[in-house]
């Protein structure tokens, strides 16, 4: 039944929302959606899903050799998927529409050390409003691991579902522990996703296609995704393999299962447990400063009143506050244009044609290029 999960009073507005999606392609986040689907969380918070297993993040630097480190990087990557793509269903009942970040919005937080793994810190900044682009940097100095990336989306409606092509990539840097020192890089490309359950009114995410983790060490991981009705018949399934970058079909090790549940080694490294990853393990939420200590561009400060309105069901107040923010932003951009002083990024610099990306991606896609955003050097 179309709209079966939609509250009675919002069925009409859900219908017109779906109609407007159908005739629309590009920036979904700027569309006005019915209140029951609104999330009080801004998209600048999403990079924190990369850090919710700080022990696995730190373990990316451990391992006896490059292949073992690649298996650790793959496990950490798979472990992030449950948070990235299913956590709104768990916490809010369905996938929701995040708040559309303002230009320069920041999200800052950390995962304090718990078991000797070191402290992990995160900064994210909205580096473009239209199209929305979020840049992020996550780092654990003690472990010698950091992740830098940016995220944008291109959406299109395909009749029953919304297809979201993820634009952007991340680079994981791991300090080498051998005598020569230096660092190993792991380029992480991002899978395609689709938003299913739209007509019913209970959206959820499914992953499809493939993504890669390509390392400067000469090894790569390829992850293939399927949903209900494909090879395993189960939702949220994947098959991952590790191989030399120069010969991706010469598979050394492989694992498969559900990225939101249990996955097992298919071809295991010697001495390994049969379980590759169990996504029922706890995720650690990021810790942020209390609101009164946050700066005025910090996400939860910017959206304080809007989020309060959404959480308490006072959608009029939420919508008024959201309009206030959007009007202020328009006025700010106008003033900047008039004065000839364009907005300056606070934490990141824009780097056209990321050469690290160009070099590493050439293993699977010759000539591909992408811009990136680098964290500005910090003055200690
Ligand atoms: C597509 C999406 C905004 C982008 C979200 C991203 C791709 C952001 C980067 C994260 O690392 C991973 C991630 C997970 C989310 O699943 C994805 C969001 C899902 C919905 C949202 C749309 C803009 C909102 C659509 C509105 C309705 C119909 C739910």
What is the pLDDT of the chain when averaged over all its residues? 94
Q: Residue 319 above 60 pLDDT?
A: yes
Please spell the DSSP secondary structure of 234-270, one letter per residue. Answer: SSSEEEEEEEETT-TTS-SEEEEEETTSEEEEEEPPT
**pLDDT of amino acid 312:** 97
User: Which of 20-34, 56-70, 286-300 is predicted with the least confidence, judged by mean pLDDT?
Assistant: 20-34
**Beta pairing class for 97-99 and 38-42:** parallel
Which residue has the CA at smallest separation from atom 13 of ligand 1? 84
Which residue has the CA at smallest separation from atom 19 of ligand 1? 95
Mean pLDDT value of segment 340-363: 97
**pLDDT of amino acid 21:** 84
132, 51 in Cβ contact below 8 A?
no
Secondary structure of 289-321 in HEC code, one letter for each residue: CCHHHCCCCEHHHHCHHHHHHHHHCCHHHHHHH
Question: How far, in Å, CA of 242 to CA of 312, rounded?
Answer: 47
pLDDT digits (tens, 9 = 90+) for 62-79: 999 999 999 999 999 999
User: ipTM beyond 0.95?
Assistant: yes
3-state secondary structure of 59: helix
For residue 43, give the ligand 1 atom closest to its CA.
Answer: 8
* Mutational test site, ligand 1, from 21, 43, 135, max ligand atoms within 8 Å of CB: 43
**pLDDT of amino acid 233:** 79
3-state secondary structure of 208: strand
Q: Is 50 in the pocket of ligand 1 (CB under 6 A)?
A: no
Which residue has the CA at smallest separation from atom 27 of ligand 1? 97
Q: Is 164 in the pocket of ligand 1 (CB under 6 A)?
A: yes
């Amino acid at each position: 039944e179309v709209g079966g999960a939609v509250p009675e009073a919002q069925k009409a507005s859900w219908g017109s929302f779906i109609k407007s999606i159908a005739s629309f392609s590009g920036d979904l986040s700027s569309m006005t959606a019915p209140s029951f689907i609104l999330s009080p969380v801004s998209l600048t918070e999403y990079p924190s899903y990369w850090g919710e297993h700080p022990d696995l993040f730190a373990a990316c630097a451990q391992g006896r050799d490059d292949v073992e480190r690649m298996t650790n990087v793959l496990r950490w990557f798979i472990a992030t998927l449950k948070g990235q793509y299913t956590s709104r269903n768990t916490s809010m009942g369905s996938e929701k529409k995040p708040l559309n970040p303002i230009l320069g919005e920041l999200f800052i937080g950390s995962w304090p050390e718990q078991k000797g793994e070191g402290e992990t810190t995160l900064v994210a900044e909205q580096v473009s409003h239209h199209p929305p682009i979020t840049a992020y940097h996550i780092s654990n100095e003690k472990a010698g691991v950091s992740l830098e990336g940016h995220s944008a989306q291109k959406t299109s409606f395909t009749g029953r579902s919304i297809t979201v092509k993820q634009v952007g990539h991340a680079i994981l840097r791991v300090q080498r522990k051998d005598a020569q020192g230096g660092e190993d890089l792991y380029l992480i490309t991002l899978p395609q996703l689709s938003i299913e359950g739209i007509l019913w009114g209970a959206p959820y995410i499914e992953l499809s296609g493939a993504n890669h983790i390509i390392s400067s060490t000469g090894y790569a991981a390829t992850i293939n995704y399927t949903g209900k009705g494909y090879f395993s018949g189960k939702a949220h399934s994947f098959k991952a393999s590790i191989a030399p970058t120069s010969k991706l079909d010469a598979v050394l090790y492989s694992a498969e299962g559900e990225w939101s549940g249990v996955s097992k080694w298919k071809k295991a490294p010697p001495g390994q447990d049969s379980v590759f990853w169990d996504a029922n393990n706890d995720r650690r939420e990021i810790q942020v400063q209390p609101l009164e200590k946050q700066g005025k561009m910090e996400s939860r400060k910017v959206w304080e009143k809007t989020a309060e309105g959404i959480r308490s069901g006072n959608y009029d107040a939420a919508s008024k506050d959201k309009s206030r923010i959007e009007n202020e932003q328009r006025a700010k951009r106008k003033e900047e244009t008039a004065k000839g002083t364009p907005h300056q990024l606070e934490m990141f610099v824009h780097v056209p044609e990321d050469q690290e990306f160009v070099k590493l991606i050439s293993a699977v896609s010759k000539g591909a290029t992408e811009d990136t955003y680098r964290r500005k050097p910090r003055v200690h």
